[in-house]
Amino acid sequence: MKKFLFIIIALISLSTAGYIIFNKYLAKRDLDTLGIVFSGHTFVKSACMGNKKAVLLFIKAGIDINTIGENGLTALHCAAMTGDTETLSAILQEKSNVNFKAEGNINPLMTPLHMAVMKEKNEAVKLLLDAGADINANTPLGTPLFLAARKSNKAMVTTLIKRGADTLVKDRWGGTVLHAVAQSSQPDEVADFFLTNGVDVNAKGHNGETALHTALSNNSFGMYLTTESAQRHISFIENLINHGADVNAVTENGETPLLISIRTNVKDKMAISLLLKNRADPNIHDKEGKTPLIAAVLGGDMAIVEMLLEAGAKTDGKWGALGTPLHAAAHQGNLAIAELLLHRGADVNAVDCCNGTTVLNTAVEMSNPNTEKFVSLLLDWGANVNAKDGSGRTPLIEARNSILPVVQLLVSKGANVNDIDRGGNSVLWWFRNRHSEAIEYLISKGARE
């Protein structure tokens, strides 16, 4: 009797194995009919393209479920991205590695859960979590919660937090989920989840940026073009400040939120006004010496310059070789801002930090359409027409590339036509290869070699 039972079991096993082999053969034949090669790479590619029929045939044909495609992903990664729950369930049933980390540089160390969150596939996220996906798997882009925060996906954030996502986790640079929120286009949607759950509002991430720095930097990408989106952005910034964000925190480069806000070129006056209202210091400079006022002058926005001056910005801050805000105005040829600065106490004879270059020297060097008017303005305010820089060059020497009226204006205001620089070179020597009219004019005024 025992021998008979053994024979029966053996026959059943053989028939089952035969059935499986036969089914695999049929699946491979069907793939061949579809013109699809049976290989790991084509399996993953089919999953990434959302070819459900092909994926299910590959599984029936006995493909290695954890094979890695040319893109460094598994089929589970791809199914998670497409969000097709039938395909995803079929792959999960085959004991696929739910926490496999993608290879390569395109999606560095991303798990299938990361991919589902990134593509905002809520049902796929739930399936993966039910299958044991690591909700706190960290990558160079952060945990799945970081990705949901960047997407401003309130439903996704809620799901992840309810399922145990760590709201206090940090990325490799020390950044928090608030940094991720600050990178989104609708930050106010999910900010409260984190601000009310103990996330450090002043934690520093990449380059020493706080979430406030990141929010203001993010605005430079032109994401807030409508009135509604701009207001949401401002609401988020205000929310950060109300929860203790340091408006004078500095990055590794010494930049404050105020300086970053001005530097973005979006000229976000609402953000700047909000920062100043909350006592942002307009005189903190970065490591190069650039102050918010210098940045505003370079941006050419009179309204922002006025806001900073009203908030106590000093007119004598120096930024490297560029010099003071008045130097910056001369560099840009901005008459209106220059006049405003002069009325607010800017030193018309200030020099830069490195070569002793005066504002007048800078103005004559720029050769822009406003040069003559700008030079006239400075001279009217008492600029020293014969001041020398560190090389001994006067404004007249620097005017060699300017227009004749500028040369004539300087001479009419007392410029020495026979001055020499520290190298012993005369004014005429500097003009030797320039326009002949200027040379003739200088000679007529007594200039000599």
Residue 13 reports pLDDT greater than 50: no
Res. 367 pLDDT band, cuts 50 70 90: confident
Global confidence as pTM: 0.84
Interval 265-313: pLDDT, tens: 556 789 999 999 999 999 999 998 899 999 999 999 999 999 999 999 9
Integer CA distances (angstroms), 43 to 46, 64, 191, 261, in order: 5, 9, 40, 48
Q: What is the per-residue pLDDT across 25-36, written as a single tens digit (0 to 9) for each?
A: 787 898 888 889
Given a contact cutoff of 8 angstroms between Cβ atoms, the answer to whether 185 and 211 are in contact is: no
pLDDT at 226: 62
Residue with tokens 């988020």: 236
Predicted confidence (pLDDT) per residue in 119-134, tens digit: 999 999 999 999 999 9
For 289-386, where are the alpha helices, taking DSSP H only? 292-299, 302-310, 325-332, 335-343, 359-366, 371-380
- Relative orientation angle of helices 154-162 and 122-130, to the nearest 10 degrees: 10
User: Is residue 221 scored above 80 in pLDDT?
Assistant: no
What are the pLDDT digits (tens) for 403-432? 999 999 999 999 999 999 999 999 999 999
Per residue in 91-118, pLDDT tens?
A: 999 989 999 999 988 888 999 999 999 9
CA distances from 437 to 108, 326, 399, 407 (A): 65, 31, 13, 10
Give the domain ranges of the chain: 28-134
Q: What is the rounded distance in angstroms from the CA atom of residue 157 to the CA atom of residue 135?
A: 12
Structure tokens at 121: 């596939």
Select the CATH number that applies to the domain covering 28-134 from these four: 1.25.40.20, 2.30.40.10, 1.25.40.10, 3.30.365.10: 1.25.40.20
**Residue 18, pLDDT score:** 57
Residue 7, pLDDT > 60, answer no
